[in-house]
Chains A and B, each alone.
Chain A
Amino acid sequence: MSDARHASSPVTGATNDRAPLAGLKVLDVSIMAAGPWTAALLGMLGADVIKVEPPAGDGTRWALPVQNGMGTNFMAMNVNKKDITLDLKGDEGRAHALTLARGADIVVQNFRAGVMERLGLGYEVMRETNSRLVYCSISGFGESGPLRHAGCSDPIMQAFSGFARLNGAPGEALDAFRFTGFIDLSTAAVAVESILAALIDRERTGCGQEVRVSMLEASLEMQSTRVAEWLLGGELMRPNGSAAAAFAPDRAYPSLDREIFVSVCRESEWRAFCRALDMPGLADDPRFATNPLRVRNRAELDGIVEPVVAQRPAIWWLRVFGRNGIACGLAHDFETFRYHQQIVENDMVAPIATPWGEVVVGGVPWHFSETPCAVTPPPRPDEHTAEILATASADAKTAEEVGSDA
């Protein structure tokens, strides 16, 4: 059963001793989504995460919509953390940040290139007092090159990276993904992958290092297959409705009622697909003998398949494609998938109790048998400032005493 589903204490910030990164400390000096979700994932993996907010607050607190006055975006991106306010532009705030970084294993920051250095919080400074630190910088366009100082956000990177121009109706130039934040969360996924690699490296060498991740590279990672098709195959995917670039048939077909989504990737599935349509002869048609041929002759293929699928309702095609071992499904929305038995039984969404009421966030993406992870509720802004600074100053005093004894 899900720990997350039964999480009821809204303000625990409880640590998970069994999770794989239990005992590691993360200092999260980031706002919006890409940086915050990086730290949230590390928190789900068991690390203790302290989020540092500027006095003006993370802008996601006001991003629409709000629930009981708090931006739902802030809640989703800051699970599994404690929250502290520090003015990094002032001497006191900077000193606190350095103290916290001295005791941290990982720092995550997403200021524009050069800002942390100007604040005296760059990697070179932090490394002097903490050589084991893994310091992850997340930027829009990367930290060198003509656009290194350009501001970025999810839709900007959808435009710059080519992500939006893979989508659309046939013949259209583009269709940007109106679910914004996806590139931010992709960037966070790449950042966590890279931070973990640096942690393993630290196990072997004893030294931390700087890790740089950009939304540009993450967006290209998401387009891995399309980029490879261009670089190695000389073909660039154009917007083509629901149809795949690499396989056919792999699209949504209108049925008697709603669309049925179906994917044929293996040659055995092609024969099964023809059986499901009750057209076994189609499997022997030389125009469609291999996947590359079916992709090239997609229009003729769809001309044959569309009228057949249109005669029966989606539920029939679910049954008959299912019986024949072909990937198929229907489109869902929030209200239908959140209670879907498949989603619930696998803890793919996590209802959590927050100070602003119950909120449903994404479930953890990995299910470890021996080191289970869970989503814990987000903190109130500034909730842990006093507690954390008290602990930090006590630690600093101890360190000083140890230092003077030596």
Chain B
Amino acid sequence: MLDGLRIVEFAEGVAGPLAGLRLSELGADVVKVERSSGDYMRGAYPTAPGGTDGAAFIDLNRGKRSVALSESPAAAAALLQPLVERAGVLITDQQDDALSVLGLAGIIAASERGESRLIHISISPWGRRGPLSSRKGSELTAQAMTGYTRYLGVQGEPARRLGADVASVGTGTFAVQAVLAALYSRARTGKGQRVDLSLCNSLLAMKSIHLAAQSNPDKYEGPRVGGAYHPPELGWKTKDEPVFMAFGGSVGPTGRAGWVDFVKEVGLEKLLEDPRCDKNGRISTGHGAHVHELREVYEEAFTNYSGEQLADLIRKHRGNASVYQRVDRTLTHPQTEALAIVCEAETDGQVRKFRRFPARFGRLQLKTLARPPGLGEHTHEIAKEVGIAAHELAALKGSGENAGDDA
């Protein structure tokens, strides 16, 4: 679909490379630019068997070609400049001054003013402006800054992170949106532009519900006001695995029936007369106001059921439920398999498993990509494409410098 679009991805870690991956699945030709030390994600734990690159790096960089820059700024600029000049999109997590050192100052300034067709996606940890704009950041520090860590664990005890890289993945997803929206706009105006995104900004955008809740609420009530101070949410205990369950539905002020029949079936008729319960189960299940007081009452009855049995029973009575599974089980669950979320592809004699692009399209064809590039594997090939001959490249590199392309 994006056939013919050249993207230069001068970004490491998760956010920029994830954007590059999704856009390449949509058909773009992505050239990954790495410094001679390589994307730090190559060093992530764990490495894939039989190789030295991190497993997450492999997944994030499937289907890309890699150019390694010389350590000499002049030599690096001589390759990077023509590469970016010929590209439709530049995705980078490099600061502007670092790009200027590599000869891109004029190119990115023109893009920002809409004077060229280049779309420049600039990703930072903390945003383009402000006192922290040149500070380094990370997944963890972004989660802490935006208050995400407050909704795990216990206030006053050691902090916990979200194990998922939500700041980085969120930013990568917003970066894909930015590229596609800017392409849509460019098709009308002929103009490229610059788009700034940051890990911190992404997490706050995705926190909109909680920001609004804390703005000026009428009363101190509900999980969005008190959630940070609630006990950890560990699920309802059953005979085996914990479950999460919620009754009451989501339409209208009162919700959906089903809870009454459910409590009768599991032998909790006493709850029908309990003033802490409403007849649709909203306030005594899920994140209802009286959940914490009533949890043990429910759990006493739940010890008769396995987690899966209980979840089935709750669904039968029009409630929502799931066992707390580990992701390995999620990936092999019949539901996940029915959606063909995990696919296999063979490359270099190895069969590798990947997760597909996270949506199903009626018509649009996605590319299946399997192989990540070695550091600088395509430096010569790309140099040739942008009009630099092999001997010129060697001369640019100067004496004794290793651009990594022959590793």
Contacts and interface: CB of A to CB of B under 8 A. Distances in A.
Do A and B truly interact? yes
B183 A341 contact: no
Given A204-B1, A209-B361, A232-B55, A263 B14 contact: no
A176 interface: yes
Interface stretch (A56-64, A94-102, A275-283, A382-390): A56-64
A159 B286 CA distance: 12
A104 interface: no
A168 B171 CA distance: 24
B78 interface: no
B328 A67 contact: no
Contacts of B328: 162, 230, 236
B315 A150 contact: yes
A265 B165 CA distance: 14
Nearest to B207: A362
Interface stretch (A7-15, A248-256, A391-399): A248-256
Nearest to B168: A225
A166 interface: yes
B185 A20 contact: yes
Contact of B324 (A174, A203, A209, A332): A174
B149 A158 contact: no
B360 A211 contact: yes
A224 B343 CA distance: 14
A268 B12 CA distance: 15
B9 interface: no
A41 B128 CA distance: 21
Contact of B140 (A41, A218, A250, A359): A250
A215 to B, nearest CB: 10
Most buried by A among B136, B164, B193, B359: B164
B158 A252 contact: yes
Given A193-B176, A207-B363, A232-B58, A160 B286 contact: no
| Secondary structure of the B contact surface, majority rule | mixed
Contact of A369 (B195, B228, B358): B195
A147 interface: yes
Contacts of A194: 358-359, 361
Interface stretch (B241-249, B270-278, B374-382, B384-392): B241-249
A20 B44 CA distance: 37
A292 B146 contact: no
Interface string A170-209: 0011111111111001100111111011111101110101
Contacts of A374: none
A76 interface: yes
Contact of B208 (A37, A245, A330, A357): A37
A146 B337 CA distance: 10
Contacts of A262: 140-141
B44 A291 contact: yes
B204 A343 contact: yes
A107 interface: no
Contacts of B2: 200
A67 B215 contact: yes
Contacts of A191: 359
Interface string A203-228: 11101011111101110111111111
B136 A325 contact: yes
A292 B150 contact: no
Interface in B164-209: 164-166, 168-171, 173-174, 176-178, 180-185, 187, 189, 191, 193-198, 200-202, 204-209
5 contacts: A65-B219, A196-B177, A218-B358, A220-B355, A348-B204
